[in-house]
Amino acid sequence: MALAKDTVYRIGRLARIHVGDEEADRYADELSRILDLVEQMNAADTERVEPLAHPQERSLRLREDEITEADQREAFQGIAPAVEAGLYLVPKVIE
Amino acid sequence: MHTKSLTQLVEGLRSGEFSAVELAQWYLDRIERHANLNAFITVDRELTLAQARAADQRASQDAPPLNGIPVAHKDIFCAEGMLTTCGSRILGNFTAPYDATVIERFKAVGTVILGKTNMDEFAMGSSNETSYYGPVRNPWNPELVPGGSSGGSAAAVAARLAPAATGTDTGGSIRQPAAFCGVTGLKPSYGRVSRYGMVAFASSLDQGGPITRSVADAALLLDVMAGFDPRDSTSVEQEAPEFTAALGQELSGLRIGLPRQYFGEGLDAAVQETVREALKVYEGLGAKLVDVDLPNSELCVPCYYVLAPSEASSNLSRFDGVRYGHRAEHYDDLMDMYMRTRSEGFGAEVKRRIMIGTYALSAGYYDAYYVKAQKLRRLIADDFDRAFEQCDVLMGPTTPSTAFALGAKSDDPVAMYLNDIYTISVNLAGLPALSLPAGFDARGMPVGLQVIGRYFDESRLLNVGYRYQQETDWHDRMPAGIE
């Protein structure tokens, strides 16, 4: 299946990955080849098969709702690109 | 010193033949001398020696057996205070603020961190060429790839730059480089080894495991790594047996299943011949060979290349330049910051997989790709269940060919993906599997024999590998040119 360039730009936006005009053709070609590989799946009849999400088909363990982690805010914020007064800084989003 | 097995090193430390500091120094010097292999991303001499000194101080009859043994860790495991890059530029400045459970367990038994090994970026690759920190070279021939994604760990063990190493395996990332580098690699059952603090690629497939020279050494490492961890929601609540205790049992009557699909078209003749020779060794040990079918195995690659990228696109959304890692220098607004940070921080293969996953999960395509792949996953897992009704373990090649040249497949993602055709289905089903050195092709490159076990049956799997290594010496061969 050949992906259109518009689709590549749309996927890039959804994935938060910048696709430059000079890269779009290459992406379209490579992703189309991967999708061709993937579409071999259609050879299998899966009409009455239940999806398997996970090798362990069991529900996740539950635990008591207790605090188990110590507060390490300073250590964690120490490696952040930009922090101030205990908050992570990002460009202004609300005018 | 570097020709000794782990058991011999343990003995040497015990008897006082050498100290942990001397041992660490010896390996650090070897790493430096063979820096051209590019097997490590981070080596912190001071930190390693400080840990070795502490081990020497602890040394006594009561110290745990592995006290003072240096181990190299794949740069996917967070180690407190150490750079943990996952082979990516986006984590190029990431000093982990905590230990992964695997690292914590190795520290608890007194082992020394020898360094962090090179790997394909975010474990996405089969050649180690997607690392931001440059490719690793195969110690058997530096013009060839070591395999991936745990290529640094496999190359380090093969070149005796580390007595043992850790790796992770999502679609073959322990077994394929182990095969290419002539070392032993074990991918444990899903849920056996904690994933806490292990940078996530595809969470329903990822599993950490040992890369060592021998199965005996792998069992020693698995004894450390395995066990329930409440911090990993998929860790299985079951006490791990003592894997070293299972080694040495007789194999007479063992039923070895040979999947017909693993010996068909696309398999290199020399690999096939080497695997057949290995099977004769097992027959000599009293095992019986049974032909079995894994009818959907050809579809494991397409199935995997929907599921793994889908999980990756979700897991890697956390890298946004806000809380840790790389942030672009110039940007206009928040969206622009995300886009630039991620475009600069991720390499080509990682971006391709994020985009494929994003597409497969997007509205209108979810059923055709993601749900279809999950259904196929069940068919593949069911195939194994049926095969194991007729046999105790499965055997076949680990890879369709031996190591290929650097650059040979890096422009063709699909050709690269097909390298994992015999390893991927094991991850989809969550089973444990070993790759054992079984001989060499005409170019002198190692061939791997894959042994697949039943779920949580690592004890038997390791014993099957151990008995083979008692009969053969492929695992003791050292690459020519590595002194």
User: From 3.20.20.100, 3.90.550.10, 3.40.1180.10, 3.90.1300.10, which CATH number describes the B6-254+432-476 domain?
Assistant: 3.90.1300.10
Predicted confidence at residue A61, as pLDDT, reads: 84
Predicted confidence at residue A94, as pLDDT, reads: 83
**Considering CB atoms only, which of A44, A60, A72 is closest to B296?**
A44
Task: Answer yes or no: do B299 and A43 touch at CB < 8 A.
Answer: yes
Listed residue (B452, B462, B387, B463) closest to B426, CA to CA: B452
- Chain B: give the shortest CA distance to residue A51, in Å: 4
Digit-by-digit pLDDT tens for chain B (483 residues) are 899 999 999 999 999 999 999 999 999 999 999 999 999 999 999 999 999 999 999 987 788 999 999 999 999 999 999 999 999 999 999 999 999 999 999 999 999 999 999 999 999 999 999 999 999 999 999 999 999 999 999 999 999 999 999 999 999 999 999 999 999 999 999 999 999 999 999 999 999 999 999 999 999 999 999 999 999 999 999 889 999 999 999 999 999 999 999 999 899 999 999 999 999 999 999 999 999 999 999 999 999 999 999 999 999 999 999 999 999 999 999 999 999 999 999 999 999 999 999 999 998 999 999 999 999 999 999 999 999 999 999 999 999 999 999 999 988 999 899 989 999 999 999 999 999 999 999 999 999 999 999 999 999 999 999 999 999 999 999 998 888
Which residues is B144 bridged to in the sheet? Answer: B405
Which pLDDT band holds residue A63 (cuts at 50, 70, 90)?
confident
Whether the pTM exceeds 0.95: the reply is: yes
**Considering CB atoms only, which of B230, B327, B413 is closest to A30?**
B413
Work out whether strand B255-259 and strand B393-397 pair parallel, antiparallel, or are unpaired.
parallel
Listed residue (B217, B478, B262) closest to B387, CA to CA: B262
Residues 6+ apart with CB under 8 A from B182: B140, B158, B437, B440, B446, B474, B475, B477, B479
Query: What number of other Cβ atoms are within 10 A of residue A71's Cβ?
Result: 8
Query: What number of other Cβ atoms are within 10 A of residue B463's Cβ?
Result: 22
SS3 state of residue B18: coil
Give CA–CA dist B171/B205, Å, rounded.
7
Amino acid identity, position A20: G
- What radius of gyration, in Å, describes the C-alpha atoms of chain B? 21
Predicted confidence at residue B110, as pLDDT, reads: 97
SS3 state of residue B242: coil
> Which residue's structure tokens are 């105790």?
B392
The sheet carrying B70-74 orders its strands as B40-42, B112-117, B70-74, B164-168, B208-212, B184-187, B433-440, B446-452, B393-397, B255-259, B288-292
Angular region, B313: left φ>0, alpha ψ -120 to 50, beta rest? alpha
Mean pLDDT of chain A: 92
Tell me, yes or no, if B173 is annotated catalytic: yes
Is the backbone peptide bond immediately before B149 cis, with ω within 30 degrees of 0?
yes
Domain ranges of chain A: 5-42
Helical H segments across B285-410, by residue range:
300-315, 334-345, 348-361, 366, 372-387
The 10s digit of each residue's pLDDT in B179-219 is 999 999 999 999 999 999 999 999 999 999 999 999 999 99
Contacts of B428 in chain A (CB under 8 A): 55
Give CA–CA dist B164/B261, Å, rounded.
33
Give CA–CA dist B421/B429, Å, rounded.
14
Angular region, B141: left φ>0, alpha ψ -120 to 50, beta rest? beta
SS3 state of residue B394: strand
Task: Answer yes or no: do B233 and A52 touch at CB < 8 A.
Answer: no
H-run or E-run covering A12: helix A5-15
- Tokens at residue B456, please? 């949580």
Task: Answer yes or no: do A79 and B332 touch at CB < 8 A.
Answer: no
- Tokens at residue B447, please? 């061939």
- Tokens at residue B101, please? 């459970």
CB B153, CB B164: distance < 8 Å: no
Residue B418, classified by CB atoms within 10 Å of its CB into exposed (0-12), middle (13-18) or buried (19+), is: middle
- Which entry of B88, B127, B150, B173 is annotated as an active-site residue? B173
Q: If you write DSSP's letter for every residue of B10-66 in order, what string do you get?
A: HHHHHHTSS-HHHHHHHHHHHHHHTGGG--EEE--HHHHHHHHHHHHHH-STTS-TT
**Please, what CATH class does the domain formed by A5-42 belong to?**
mainly alpha
Domain ranges of chain B: 6-254+432-476
- Describe the crossing of helices B348-361 and A21-38 by its angle, rounded to 10 degrees: 60
Predicted confidence at residue B62, as pLDDT, reads: 80
Give CA–CA dist B232/B239, Å, rounded.
15
Quick check: A57 pLDDT over 80? no
Which pLDDT band holds residue A68 (cuts at 50, 70, 90)?
confident
Which residues is B23 bridged to in the sheet? Answer: none
The 10s digit of each residue's pLDDT in A37-51 is 999 999 999 999 999
Contact residues, B window 229-248, toward A, CB-based 8 Å cutoff: 230, 233-234, 236-237
Contact residues, A window 49-88, toward B, CB-based 8 Å cutoff: 49-56, 60-61, 63, 72, 75-76, 78-82, 88
**Considering CB atoms only, which of A30, A41, A53 is closest to B303?**
A41
Helical H segments across B74-214, by residue range:
101-108, 151-158, 175-181
Predicted confidence at residue A24, as pLDDT, reads: 94
**Considering CB atoms only, which of B299, B338, B352 is closest to A30?**
B352
